[in-house]
Amino acid sequence: MKSNRIILILIFFGIGYVLYYKDKAGPIGSLWKTVTGVFQSKGSDLEKKNPYKAPEPDNEASATKGDEKYDDVATATNKKSTDKKEPTKDEGSIFDKIKDKVFNQDSQEETTDNGEIPDFALPAIRKSDEIIKHKNYTLRYEEDYEVPAWVAHKLRGEYTTGRASRGDNQFMPDRKVKGNSALSGDYSSTGYDRGHMVPAGDFKCCQELMTETFYMSNICPQAPDFNRGIWENIESRIRGWAVRDEELFIVTGPVLRKGLPTIGRYNNVAVPEFFYKIALFYQPKSGKTPRAIAFLLPNEALHGKRMNNYVVSVDEVEKATGLDFFAKLPNELQAKLEANSSWEAWTKIQ
C-alpha cells in the first residue's frame, strides 16, 4: 500500500512537472510539441482563417455595383442570417451590455484631435478628381480601375496602441464613391488578398477609425505573400517611426496604367504591378529638419528581400504614377524632400 501511494505521488508530480514546463523552452517543451503535433490535423496551419482573403461567393446571393438590396455577397449572407431573428449582441443581458461598456472603453475612445489632414500632406488635386474624405484619411478613387490612386492619412504615435479590434474583418462598400466602390465579392476565388492602403493596425486606438479602414475604397488586390510579408513589415516599421516622431503623414497607393489585368465577379478591379508608400515628417513648429522617405515595390512575393532595397526618391514615385506629391509645400522644400529619400536618415535618428 505504501509503495502504491509513493507511485501515485510520483505520477502526479510528473504530470505537474510536464504541464508546468510544456510551454517553456527545453526538452520537455520540445517533447510536448512533438507528441501533441501527432494528434493535430496535418492541414491545421493551412486552414487558419486568413483575414485578407475574401469569402467564397454564395451561389444563392447576387450583387451588382450599386445594388440597393445587397451591397455585397457577404452582406447578402449576413442579411439571410439576421432574417432568422436570432438574438444579436445588442439583445444580450444587461450584464453583457455593462461589461462591454466597461471593458471595451479603451477601444471606443476618440482621438485627441479631429484627424484633419493638412493640404501640404495631400497630392495635387484636379477638379475632375473624385476625392473621398473619411474621418482620418482622404483618398482619390479611380472608377476606371475600381481602386484608389492614392490614400493619405495622418499617423500619430498614440493611434498605434489600444484595444480596437479587427472583429470579423467586415469589408464594406464605400457609399461615398459616386458610382459605388468595388465589392468584397470581387476578390473571391481570385487568389489575391484585400490589401489595405491605410492599415487597420495604424488605428488601434479607436474602433471607429479602424473600422473605416475596411471600406473597399481603401483596398487593392495584393499578392498574399506580398501583403502579409514585406508590405506588412513596412507598415509596422512606419508605425514605429510614428511613435518615435509623434506624427507622420503617409501617402499610399498602387501604380496604375492602362492594360492592367483585372479581377472581379461584379466589377473590373485592376491588379496593380507595383505599390508605393511615402512617409513625411514635417513639424515646422518643432524646429526639427523635415524629411521624407518613399518605397516602391512589385506586387509579388519578395521572400528574403529587405525593405531598404526598395527605398526610392519621391521624384521616382511621381514619375511612375504621374502624381504630384506634397504640392502645397514651399517649392524649395518640396524639391529638396522629393529628391532625397534616405533609409539611414530615418533609421539612425534617436
Read off the pLDDT band of 168 (50, 70, 90).
Answer: confident
For the ranges 45-59, 149-163, 295-309, the lowest mean pLDDT is seen at: 45-59
The CA-based angle 326-273-217, given to 5 degrees, is: 60
Q: Is the pLDDT of residue 277 over 50?
A: yes
The predicted model gives 172-184 an average pLDDT of: 95
If you average pLDDT over residues 137-163, what whole number do you get?
96
Percent of the chain with pLDDT over 90: 62
Phi, psi (deg, nearest 5) at residue 73: -60, -45
- Determine the pLDDT at residue 156: 95
Has residue 77 got a pLDDT over 50? no
For 93, the 3-state DSSP assignment is: coil
Model confidence at 260: pLDDT above 90: yes
189: cell is 476565388
Domain 73-347 fold is Extracellular Endonuclease; Chain A (3.40.570)
Closest CA to 117 of 206, 293, 248, 211: 248
Predicted confidence (pLDDT) at residue 285 exceeds the cutoff of 80: yes
pLDDT band at 46 (very low <50, low <70, confident <90, very high): very low
Residues 269/147, Cβ–Cβ less than 8 Å: yes
Q: How confident is the model at residue 113 (pLDDT cuts 50, 70, 90)?
A: low
At position 266, the amino acid (one-letter code) is Y
DSSP symbols for 308-338? GGGEE-HHHHHHHH---TTTTS-HHHHHHHH
pTM tops 0.75: no
Q: What is the pLDDT of residue 114?
A: 55
Residue 240 has pLDDT above 50, yes or no: yes
Q: Are 295 and 234 in contact (CB under 8 A)?
A: yes
**Of residues 131, 129, 250, the one with CA closest to residue 196:** 250
Give the residue-averaged pLDDT of 18-22: 51
For β-strands 262-263 and 137-142, DSSP reports them as: unpaired
Distances from the Cα of 113 to the Cα of 80, 117, 159, 317, angstroms: 39, 11, 11, 30
| CB-based contacts of 64, cutoff 8 Å, min separation 6 | 266
Q: What is the pLDDT of residue 282?
A: 96
Split at pLDDT 50, 70, 90, the class of 43 is: very low
Q: Report, as an integer, the average pLDDT of 44-56.
A: 54
As a 3-state breakdown, the chain gives helix, strand, coil percent values, each rounded to 5, of 40, 15, 45
C-alpha distance across the termini of the chain, in Å: 69
More confident residue, 155 or 167: 155
Identify which of 289, 292, 343 has the alpha carbon closest to the alpha carbon of residue 317: 292
* Mean pLDDT computed over every residue of the chain: 79
Beta-bridge partner residues of 48: none
Q: How far is CA 294 from the centre of its chain?
A: 18
Domain residue ranges of the chain, discontinuous segments joined by +: 2-39, 73-347
Over 80: is that where the pLDDT of 172 sits?
yes
Sign of CA dihedral 226, 227, 228, 233: positive
pLDDT of residue 17: 58
**Among 69-78, 218-227, 266-275, the least confident range:** 69-78
Lowest average pLDDT, out of 27-36, 162-171, 324-333, goes to 27-36
Which is higher by pLDDT, 30 or 219?
Answer: 219
| Active site residues per annotation | 196
User: Helix, strand, or coil here: 177?
Assistant: coil
145 CA to centre of own chain: 20
pLDDT of residue 81: 35
Residue 5 has pLDDT above 90, yes or no: no
**pLDDT at residue 8, rounded to an integer:** 72
